């Protein structure tokens, strides 16, 4: 998700001082980190270099085959995937595609002013905003930014290399960018069988069910027109990369309806990006039980409180203790050990 995800939270809770206060603290954190932590993050080794995408050791980037010629093959793969990621994020093109005002719902004026002051700083780097997935881009095919795409690439390469059983799925695809990268990595590694499941309503987020999911109370994401992207547009985006084939499977509808029939379907990678407690919990409940050992669970919006709460509730209920690793300021993942 993006910089203004938390502000959408503040809009929806305009009458609730506590939540607004939390949202302001969250925005302040995001903005501070955009200048300070991002600079230092480039210098310090990440917790799990292989999976956060920062300069993994060569042997860990290899595909399933090995041998001297693989070094060259790996170099070409990296070059191909690098271009795909920069195209998906629109970082290949100028002017940069960065902006914040397309949610279609009111943003708290104080937060807007605070953001404007921050963006006006001379040392503010707009490319970092796009690379870090902090905005709602106009043209980019993903909003998640390079850091989370790097993580996704490493996770997919790892499941191919380690022959972890199962297909891949993202719940909440927007314009499809993250799922396009999944398919591109499978292509780059010559994986012959795995399918990529593309799950979305293709008409935006659901209205909040305050009774069943109090954490979503007041959510106004369903009013955000920019979050409603049609299935045709997503399919066309796959086509643009030459990656639309019968191993791309569309699951159209609300997660609560489309995911239960997949019970028992084996997964090697599950990526959650549904922004709400309900969407996160529906995906975990229906998909996690058949995530293979060695597979990955990625949560795009982990730092966003309703998503984090859903993850915490699910993990507590099911006794999951695999360590959660942060990818960047927002996303997190863990690898299933048992």
Ligand X SMILES: C[S@@+](CC[C@H](N)C(=O)[O-])C[C@H]1O[C@@H](n2cnc3c(N)ncnc32)[C@H](O)[C@@H]1O
Is 196 a residue that touches ligand X (CB under 6 A)? no
Is 23 a residue that touches ligand X (CB under 6 A)? no
Is 46 a residue that touches ligand X (CB under 6 A)? no
Residues 223-262 that bind ligand X (CB under 6 A): 227, 229, 254-255
Is 98 a residue that touches ligand X (CB under 6 A)? no
Is 144 a residue that touches ligand X (CB under 6 A)? yes
| Contact in structure between 161 and 63 (CB atoms under 8 Å) | yes
Contacts of residues 249-258 at CB distance under 8 Å and 24 or more positions apart, as own/partner, are 249/167, 249/195, 249/196, 249/197, 249/198, 250/198, 251/197, 251/198, 251/199, 251/200, 252/200, 252/201, 252/202, 253/201, 254/201, 254/206, 255/171, 255/199, 255/279, 255/282, 255/283, 255/286, 256/282, 258/199
As a whole number of angstroms, the longest Cα–Cα distance in the chain is 63
**Count of residues touching ligand X (by CB under 6 A):** 25
CA distance 191 to 334: 23
CA distance 147 to 177: 14
Among 6, 9, 56, 274, binds ligand X (CB under 6 A): 274
Is 273 a residue that touches ligand X (CB under 6 A)? yes
| CB nearer to ligand X: pick between 189 and 304 | 304
Output the smallest distance, CB 140 to ligand X, in A.
Answer: 8
| Contact in structure between 139 and 7 (CB atoms under 8 Å) | no
| CB nearer to ligand X: pick between 111 and 234 | 234
| CB nearer to ligand X: pick between 274 and 295 | 274
Output the smallest distance, CB 275 to ligand X, in A.
Answer: 5
Output the smallest distance, CB 16 to ligand X, in A.
Answer: 22
Is 208 a residue that touches ligand X (CB under 6 A)? no
CA distance 215 to 309: 8
Which residues of this protein are in contact with ligand X, per CB under 6 A?
1, 142-144, 170, 172-174, 177-178, 200-201, 204-206, 227, 229, 254-255, 273-276, 279, 282
């Amino acid at each position: 998700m993006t910089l203004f995800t938390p502000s959408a939270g503040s809009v929806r809770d305009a009458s609730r001082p506590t939540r607004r206060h939390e949202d302001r603290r969250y925005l302040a954190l995001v903005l501070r980190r955009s200048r300070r932590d991002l600079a230092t993050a480039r210098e310090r080794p990440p917790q799990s270099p292989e999976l956060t995408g920062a300069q993994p050791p060569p042997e860990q980037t290899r595909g399933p085959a090995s041998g001297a010629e693989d070094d060259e093959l790996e170099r070409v793969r990296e070059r191909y995937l690098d271009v795909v990621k920069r195209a998906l994020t629109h970082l290949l093109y100028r002017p940069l595609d960065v902006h914040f005002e397309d949610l279609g719902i009111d943003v708290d004026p104080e937060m807007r002013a605070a953001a404007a002051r921050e963006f006006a700083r001379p040392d503010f780097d707009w490319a970092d905003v796009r690379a870090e997935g902090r905005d709602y881009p106009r043209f980019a095919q993903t909003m998640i930014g390079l850091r989370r795409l790097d993580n996704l690439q490493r996770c997919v390469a790892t499941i191919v290399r380690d022959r972890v059983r199962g297909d891949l799925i993202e719940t909440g695809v927007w314009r499809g960018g993250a799922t396009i990268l999944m398919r591109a990595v499978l292509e780059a590694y010559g994986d012959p069988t795995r399918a990529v499941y593309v799950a979305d309503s293709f008409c935006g987020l659901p209205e909040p069910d305050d009774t069943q999911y109090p954490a979503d109370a007041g959510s106004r994401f369903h009013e955000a027109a920019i979050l409603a992207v049609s299935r045709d547009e997503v399919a066309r985006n796959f086509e643009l990369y030459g990656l639309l084939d019968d191993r791309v499977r569309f699951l159209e509808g609300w997660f609560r309806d489309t995911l239960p029939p997949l019970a028992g379907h084996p997964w090697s990678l599950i990526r959650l990006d549904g922004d709400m407690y309900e969407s996160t919990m529906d995906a975990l409940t229906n998909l996690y039980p058949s995530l293979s050992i060695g597979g990955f669970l990625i949560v795009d919006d982990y730092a966003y409180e309703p998503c984090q709460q859903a993850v915490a509730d699910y993990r507590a209920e099911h006794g999951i203790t695999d360590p959660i690793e942060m990818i960047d300021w927002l996303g997190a993942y863990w690898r299933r050990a048992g």
